[in-house]
Amino acid sequence: MSGISEQRQYLLAQLVASENKTKLRSVVIKICEEQLEEEGGNEELEAQQINIGYSGVIKAFANKYKRLALNYFVDFRNPRP
């Protein structure tokens, strides 16, 4: 194969991959949200927030983890909300 033909195939493969990635992103987000709900992740973190002994530390950690977990697949480069 010539260099131009290989480059064309590579670019076409990249285009197809990026289109598939965009379509699958919403599916992946739904799966992650369902998994968090099934495992009771949010409820467990909220329950830990009211732990009497270390409520301030646990609340800060739980809120930080919730932000990380819920925004894991969010693309912040996208200007649309």
In a domain, 52, yes or no: yes
Question: Strand runs (DSSP E) across the chain, as ranges?
Answer: none
| Domain assignment of residue 77, yes or no | no
- Residue 38: inside a domain, yes or no? yes
Q: Is residue 25 part of a domain?
A: yes
18-53 per-position pLDDT tens digit: 655 555 566 566 666 666 666 666 666 666 656 555
Task: Examine residue 76 and state whether it is found in any structural domain, yes or no.
Answer: no
Which amino acid type is present at position 55?
A: S
The answer to whether residue 64 sits within a structural domain is: yes
Q: What residue numbers bound the domain in which 23 lies?
A: 3-70
* Residue 36 domain flag: yes
pTM of the model: 0.32
What's the number of domains the chain is made of? Answer: 1
Residue 2 has pLDDT above 60, yes or no: no
Task: Say which amino acid occupies 30.
Answer: K
What does the radius of gyration of the chain's CA atoms come to, in whole angstroms? Answer: 20
22 within some domain = yes
Handedness of CA 44, 49, 50, 55 (dihedral sign): positive
